[in-house]
A and B are shown apart, each in its own frame.
Chain A
Amino acid sequence: MDQYLSVKNVVKYFGKFQALNNINFDVNEGEFVCILGPSGCGKTTLLRVIAGLESQSEGTIQQNNNDISLLPPDQRDFGIVFQSYALFPNLTVKDNISFGLKTRKQNRNEIDSRVDELLKLVGLSDHINKYSAQLSGGEQQRVALARALAPSPGLLLLDEPLSALDAKVRQHLRLEIKNLQKQLGVTTIMVTHDQEEALTMADRIILMNNGVIEQEGSPQDIYSKPTTAFSANFIGTTNLFKAKKISSNSIEIHGSVLECNDNINDDVSTVTIRPEDIKISDSGEGKNILSGTIKELEFLGSNIRGHIEVNFESDKAIVLCNFAAEYIQNKNIQTNASINISLQPHAIKIVKE
């Protein structure tokens, strides 16, 4: 795959506040990239810089091998969908979608057939003459998408496109947008604060925090191989511990020595253990087994999350573990029960603070 967009050393200041700090990444042609991060991390600023709605303080942006760093938005090649949809309320669905087609010297028939094609694509052919006030949120979102795609832009930018919608509609549209993007093959950058959205939709996730890129990779990699404490904590739920190096494959947490698979270099480091990687040990025998008391059981549907006060050698600490709901019910495990958990060596991962 060819590299389509390339962001190099982008820095953005608002007054003295540094919103973006040396951002570098590439997007391949046809790729779906999610920029993910908590609010205020700079992800929307980054999208606006790519669109030309903000100008970067330093750095360059290349699109399709052209330097677009200094071009105003109307000379760049992109379509954008905002969280607010920004549909023109006084224009019909048809006029909204054809808004960007009119000056491109296309005749009326061509425009009409393009509008029909797009409406079919987003499944709204029956609504062609409606106004946005007459559409549901999900329908408005799809019109906004069709409008952005109408002039066949090389790059599609989505700014939190689903966050104003109900949970059910959101899940449905997630899949729809993803399929549409695959079908059209349009290079897409989506900004979101919703990790689930990013995990389900993206080919690649760029995780941001405090104006820097924390980690970049496929959803699977980001989830299973977090490189920083922030990554581990922001995506999914995890347990983080300070750890001391004992040998190249063992560490000490709160005085208890645990074996692990990672190669340990630093004397002091942070480790992450996902709740679903922690198992109950019925026998209580073997490596990396710790005893504890169940302080709370949280019902999550198919899973139950236990908050377990674990008796480390020197200290007690709460550890989150996921159990199958069936198991807890069958064994009739209650709060305040004693339990043995096993922290498998492969589940313990060293991350950067």
Chain B
Amino acid sequence: MKKSRDDYLTLFFISIIGFYILISLAFPMYAILSKSFENKDGDFIGFENYQSYFENSSLVYSIYNSLFVSIVTMVITISLAFVFAYALTKSRMAGKGVFRSIAMIPILVPSLLSGISLIYLFGKQGIFRELLMGYEIYGPIGIIIAEVFYTFPHALLIIVTALSIGDARLYEAAKVLRSKSIRTFFTVTLPSAKYGVISAAFVVFTLVITDFGIPKVIGGNYNVLAVDVYKQVIGQQNFEMGAVVSMVLVFPALIAFAVDRIVQRKQVAILTSRSVVHEPNESKTFDRIMFGYCSVISALILTILGMCLYASLVTFWPYNLTLSLKNYQFDLMDGGGWDSYYNSIRMASYTAVFGTIAVFAGAYFVEKARSLKTGRSILHLLSMMPMAIPGLVLGLAYIFFFNHPDNPLNFLYGTMAILVICTITHFYTVSHLTALTSLKQIDNEFEHVSSSLKQPFYKTFFRVTVPISLPAIFEIGIYFFVNAMTTVSAVVFLYSSKTTLASVAVLNMDDAGDIAPAAAMGMMIFYTNAAVRIVYVLITKKILVRFQNWRVKTT
């Protein structure tokens, strides 16, 4: 068939977005892979680096450590999150909205903030250190507690979704057949949530094994893979070994990614459009137990956050407990001062704006374009890849790729732009999936109608698709912003003295022993993200409703 103007435009935009992902992901990953096969002079030496890696028992031991904390965290997080999600979806307890909001708090702070909080709670001068009965918080215990805090909302979101799709008609059928509630749980609830739970488990596993902030802050001498990468690169300037450890780290992340994708596909299959939302029955005892459980979990989350808040306001822990804003005088500390904070805001805003545009446009072409079937599948595949790459590895790959003297994009190195590019790419996949889900709900025939009316696709895009998708577009923007504010791993190798960031400042101040200011900077990130989320809720509740009055039936 002949190509129309729309087809050429589609090809043009798909190529741009595809090319962006190639440059920001595929080429850097190739650079880091080839680096792992080179010596310091850049000569190819085959598997020699890998050989010396596996001969170094302390490095290899990190693999075991990483797997240990990841699996233990996974089991604990999934158990806690499942019950919490069950309470949110299958009980009629009071305060669901509040519990849900509290459970989301960890998403709004950098992961290492929970580590800092644990130091105040259980460290050498901690309030509750007796509770550990002689055990050290520095090490696997601290890492696991902090990781559970950090991964809890991620697991919760997935499991809540999985539990909410339970079809009410199945529950009714079970009831009519006089099935006991325990039996209903095992025959109806659990099977329909099965894939969600598996998917959540792998997401938690990946988050923990690739996280570097928490073990850096509270790991003590307990080495894990992600910290090894950091130490090899920043501490010993051994880039080749850093590349090798990165490849070792990518391996489990890739497997987890692959399993998650397969499982997600199955999850979709049991969702039918005819499903009816299940409204739980009232059961006083059950609701009270669930309320108690959620209260305990929420209290724990608030304790960790509250400890940080308190620590950031105390003048000199634990000797002078008068409250002051002394720790917020960042300009007096290492880490870049208040400029880091402003840089973070700028970086997060650029990421939100450009990331949302790129992701939504990309998802639109993948889902709605009429022609270029192959091009669209390739673009979709490229869009899924960032999820498999740990942030730390991506950041290191950027050094190898963009800092290479022969790279014409070399000028980007050390700028704000490279931070934005890296962050957009790091968080691309989840946003892409959000956009796809939203676009799939829009009738595909809109595009056909417009072309029969001889209208270019971009007119339909701007007049129909974008207005209908505004809620999802805002959601993606917020996701980019919040994550850009909190991310450490993706940017820790890439900032320069002019582009220091708040999250990295938390890390560096903690490293320099300024723990209270680190907590204070972490709280600044929390305040900002919380404010942005609140503004977002107000926008969606008040303003969006006005622009979206077409959604309301008034007949």
Contacts and interface: CB of A to CB of B under 8 A. Distances in A.
B553 A55 contact: no
A147 B454 CA distance: 12
B452 A134 contact: no
B534 interface: no
B329 interface: no
A198 B1 CA distance: 32
B551 A133 contact: yes
Query: Is the contact region of chain B dominated by helix, strand, or loop, or is it mixed?
Result: helix
B110 to A, nearest CB: 38
Chain A interface extent, by class: 35 or more
Interface stretch (B266-274, B358-366, B443-451): B443-451
Nearest to A136: B555
A90 to B, nearest CB: 5
A241 interface: no
Contacts, number: 101
A172 B555 CA distance: 22
Interface in B5-39: 5-7
A86 B443 contact: yes
Given A72-B6, A133-B550, A86 B455 contact: no
B1 A147 contact: no
A80 B448 contact: yes
A189 B174 CA distance: 48
Contact of B1 (A70, A79, A102, A104): A70
Contacts of B449: 80, 82, 86, 147-148
Nearest to A92: B550
B550 A73 contact: no
B4 interface: yes
Contact of A103 (B3, B452, B455, B548): B455
Interface string A284-328: 000000000000000000000000000000000000000000000
Contacts of B6: 72, 74
Q: Helix, strand, loop or mixed for chain A's interface?
A: loop
Nearest to B550: A131
A99 interface: yes
B2 A99 contact: no
Interface residues of B, number: 35
Contacts of B320: none
B4 A88 contact: no
A52 B449 CA distance: 12
A151 to B, nearest CB: 6
B153 to A, nearest CB: 32
A155 to B, nearest CB: 10
A86 B446 contact: yes
A53 B371 CA distance: 10
B306 interface: no
Contact of A72 (B2, B445, B552, B553): B2
B370 A53 contact: yes
Interface in B419-458: 443, 445-446, 448-456
A91 interface: yes
B4 A89 contact: no
A71 interface: yes
A79 B452 contact: yes
A103 B454 contact: yes
Interface string B514-555: 000000000000000000000000000000000011111111
A73 to B, nearest CB: 4
Interface string A174-215: 000000000000000000000000000000000000000000
A131 to B, nearest CB: 4
Interface stretch (B139-147, B287-295, B461-469): B461-469
Contacts of B551: 89, 133
Contacts of B548: 90
A251 interface: no
A75 interface: yes
Contacts of A138: none
Interface in A117-156: 131-135, 147-148, 150-151, 153
A345 interface: no
Contact of B468 (A70, A73, A89, A151): A89
Contacts of B370: 53, 72-73
A73 B553 contact: no
Contact of A74 (B451, B550, B555): B451
A52 B453 contact: no
Interface in A47-64: 51-53, 55
6 contacts: A55-B1, A72-B371, A74-B6, A88-B463, A133-B550, A147-B453
Interface of A: 51-53, 55, 70-76, 78-80, 82, 84, 86, 88-91, 99-100, 102-104, 131-135, 147-148, 150-151, 153, 157
Interface of B: 1-7, 370-371, 443, 445-446, 448-456, 459-460, 463-464, 467-468, 548-555
Q: State the 8 A-B residue pairs at the shortest beta-carbon distance, nearest first.
A: A100-B453, A72-B4, A86-B445, A131-B550, A74-B451, A73-B451, A55-B1, A88-B464
